């Protein structure tokens, strides 16, 4: 990689890492360490091909999604290890944002990896359906039906989300933090 391309890569990493880290966090089901590993793996691979990358943002997003799918598939082939369930005792926080965050996190964790990825790419990353379809390697219609079914499943898994009145409901940006 020549000096100009290296500078371009460093600038991309510096400016887009926080957003890509949040995307990785959601793709990995809320595992900070796995999100860091995912982003680092993808950026290392992108650095090797950087001179051939025309539009880095979609390239890295697509690579993150595909790498996460590979990890899910490898994990599905490994035998499951049974461990005692850790107690779920959140700290006291009476704000609606904290309540929503916990409920939403648990509900998202119960979705399939594909459903969670479709919702994350469509609503968190705010990508159009066509770009989500391209990243996931499927048609726009499949994205629409997956998102529709995923939202319906979220309504079943977390009916308390509907009980929060819209005036006190935090924005998606508040839930992300």
pTM value?
Answer: 0.56
Three-state DSSP state, 26? helix
The residue-averaged pLDDT of 7-26 equals: 92
Nearest Cα neighbor of 42 from 67, 71, 12, 77 is 67
Express each pLDDT in 44-99 by its tens digit: 999 999 888 889 999 999 999 999 888 777 766 666 666 677 656 655 545 667 77
Predicted local distance difference test score (pLDDT) of residue 18: 93
Question: Where residue 173 falls among pLDDT bands split at 50, 70, 90?
Answer: very low
Domain range summary for the chain, segments of one domain joined by +? 3-77, 96-176
What span, in angstroms and rounded, lies between the C-alpha atoms of 48 and 44? 7
The CATH number of 96-176, from 3.40.50.2000, 1.10.10.10, 3.40.50.150, 3.40.50.720, is: 1.10.10.10
Express as a percent the part of the chain with pLDDT over 70: 80
Report which DSSP code applies to 139. -
Helix (H) or strand (E) holding 36: helix 32-48
Nearest Cα neighbor of 45 from 9, 2, 8, 3 is 9
């Amino acid at each position: 990689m020549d000096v100009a391309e290296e500078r371009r890569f460093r600038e991309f990493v510096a400016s887009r890492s926080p957003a890509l880290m949040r995307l990785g966090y959601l793709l990995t089901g809320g595992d900070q360490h796995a999100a860091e590993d995912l982003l680092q793996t993808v950026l290392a691979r992108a650095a090797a091909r950087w001179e051939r990358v025309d539009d880095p943002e979609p390239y890295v997003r697509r690579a993150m999604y595909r790498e996460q799918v590979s990890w899910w598939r490898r994990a599905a082939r490994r035998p499951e290890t049974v461990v005692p369930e850790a107690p779920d005792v959140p700290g006291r926080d009476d704000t609606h944002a904290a309540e929503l965050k916990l409920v939403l996190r648990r509900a998202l964790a119960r979705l399939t990896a594909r459903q969670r990825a479709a919702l994350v790419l469509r609503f968190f990353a705010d990508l159009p359906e066509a770009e989500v379809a391209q990243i996931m390697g499927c048609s726009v219609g499949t994205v629409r039906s997956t998102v529709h079914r995923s939202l319906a499943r979220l309504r079943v898994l977390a009916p308390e989300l509907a009980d929060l009145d819209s005036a006190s409901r935090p924005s998606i940006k508040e839930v992300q933090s």
